[in-house]
């Protein structure tokens, strides 16, 4: 479903050039949940940004659902297939748009006409009571807001969700709820996930396979069984696993 081959992403050509991602390659199978994990600044989010066109200078190959991506312009078909959920639901929702407007607009943009029925269905899908439909973001908790952001991402019935630290801005008590919701939704909607997190236990809980990143490079791709059995090969992955076990 997702193929990334020899991906390089850089910012600011010339003296200030930052090579944020170097030679990254991995595949994500249809229906799979794949994690990108690594310390802050290792280039995880940059990979998602290159996919969505937010990191304009890149080379290599990115293919999603059989379509190769080029440059940084993404068309309607791309957003029909791929949607993103960001870390901070406070920032990603317009403060003066009600939940109804947020979801209605997303449905309208995707060309749906039965908007009323679909808004209600989306609320049900993400476990939000219908009483929240006409509320504004400031009237919702962080977890409820992230549910709205997830509902918006699902509006166009995408195949792939790119999840960038989707729970790290939330209270610990709410994080598990949202992760379990995402797990259920993947199953129910046959979604494929590419998920970024600096939190190895979160990736271990959510993903079947993962890539460990360090300083812009993927140092190891492993499956979650290897992770659980602490069978990482690369010293940096071993260190990362060691730290998360110690916590």
The residues of the shown chain that bind ligand ATP, judged by CB under 6 A, are 11-12, 18, 20, 38, 40-46, 198
Q: In whole angstroms, how close is the CB of 142 to ligand ATP at the nearest point? A: 19
Least distance from ligand ATP to the Cβ atom of residue 166, Å: 13
Least Å distance, CB 42 to ligand ATP, is 4
Nearer to ligand ATP, 99 or 210 (CB): 210
Q: In the structure, how many helices (H) and strands (E) does the chain have?
A: 10, 10
Cα–Cα distance list, 142 to 127, 137, 241 (Å): 14, 9, 29
Q: In terms of CB distance, is 17 or 70 closer to ligand ATP?
A: 17
The residue to which tokens 């989010």 are assigned: 45
Distance CA 194, CA 77 (A): 19
CB of 49 to ligand ATP, least distance (A): 7
For 139-160, give the DSSP string: GS-HHHHHHHHHHHHHTT--SE
> Residues 142, 90: contact at Cβ < 8 Å?
yes
Using the minimum distance from each CB to ligand ATP, give the nearer residue, 81 or 87: 87
Our CB check for ligand ATP shows the closer of 13 and 129 to be: 13
Q: At 213, give phi and psi (nearest 5°).
A: -110, 145
> Least distance from C-beta 107 to ligand ATP, angstroms?
30
Indicate the residue among 90 and 112 with the shorter CB distance to ligand ATP: 90
């Amino acid at each position: 479903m997702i193929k990334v081959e020899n991906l390089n992403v850089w910012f600011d050509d010339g003296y200030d050039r930052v090579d944020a991602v170097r030679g990254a390659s991995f595949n994500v199978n249809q229906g799979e949940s794949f994690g990108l994990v690594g310390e802050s600044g290792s280039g995880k989010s940059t990979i998602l940004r290159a996919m969505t066109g937010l990191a304009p200078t890149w080379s290599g190959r990115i293919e999603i659902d059989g379509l190769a991506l080029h440059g940084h312009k993404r068309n309607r078909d791309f957003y029909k297939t791929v949607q993103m959920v960001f870390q901070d639901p406070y920032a990603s929702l317009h403060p003066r748009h009600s939940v109804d407007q947020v979801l209605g607009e997303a449905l309208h943009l995707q060309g749906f006409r039965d908007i009323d029925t679909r808004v209600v269905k989306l609320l049900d899908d993400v476990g939000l009571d219908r009483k929240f439909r006409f509320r504004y973001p400031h009237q919702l908790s962080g977890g409820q807001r992230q549910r709205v952001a997830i509902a918006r991402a699902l509006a166009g019935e995408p195949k792939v969700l790119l999840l960038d630290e989707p729970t790290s801005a939330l209270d610990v008590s709410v994080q598990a709820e949202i992760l379990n919701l995402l797990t259920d939704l993947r199953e129910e909607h046959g979604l494929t996930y590419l998920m970024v997190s600096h939190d190895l236990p979160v990736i271990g809980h959510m993903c079947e396979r993962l890539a460990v990143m360090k300083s812009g490079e993927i140092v190891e791709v492993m499956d979650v069984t290897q992770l659980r059995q602490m069978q990482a090969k690369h010293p940096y992955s071993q260190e990362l696993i060691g730290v998360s076990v110690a916590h």
